[in-house]
Amino acid sequence: MTNLVIFHNPRCSKSRQTLSIIQERDLDLNVVEYLKNPPSKTEIKIILKKLGIRPIDLMRKGETLFKEKNLNDPNVTDEYLIDCMAENPILIERPIVIRGEKAIIGRPPERVMEIL
C-alpha cells in the first residue's frame, strides 16, 4: 500500500474534511502540519511537479500577504513565488494530498477520492 501524505492545517475546515475522508478509509497516512513544519523550496518544487501546476496556482490568493507582496504581478518569477511559499507557508493552498507520484489539492474535499 502506498503511503499517503497530507499537508494539513487543522484550523481549515476543508483540510479537516479532507483528512476525515482519508481517515474513514483507515489508510496509512502521514499528517504534516505545514504551518509548523513548512516544506522546503525543494519539497515545494516536488509537490508542484506531482500536482502538475505552476507555483501561482498553489498560492492562496486571498491571503493579505499575497496582496501585500503583489504576487499576482506577471513579472514575478516562479522561483520567487516558491521562495515566498517556503518562507511564508500560509501562502500555500491546502490541503495537499500526495500518493506516490501524484498529488491533488483537496478543494473540494471530495477531490481526495481521485487519489485514493
Global pTM value: 0.94
**In this structure, what CATH number is given to the domain that contains residue 104?**
3.40.30.10
62-116 pLDDT tens trace: 999 999 999 999 999 999 999 999 999 999 999 999 999 999 999 999 999 999 9
pLDDT of residue 3: 85
pLDDT tens-digit map of 16-48: 999 999 999 988 899 999 999 999 999 999 999
**What's the rounded Cα separation, in Å, for the pair 49 and 55?**
10
Q: Which domain holds residue 28?
A: 4-114
68-72 own/partner pairs: CB under 8 Å, 24+ apart: none
Give me the number of domains the chain comprises: 1
Which residues are catalytic, by number? 12
One-letter identity of residue 82? I
pLDDT of 12 > 70? The answer is yes
Cβ contacts of 17 within 8 Å, gap of 6 or more: 106, 109
- pLDDT score of 2: 56
Instruction: Report whether pLDDT(1) > 80.
Output: no
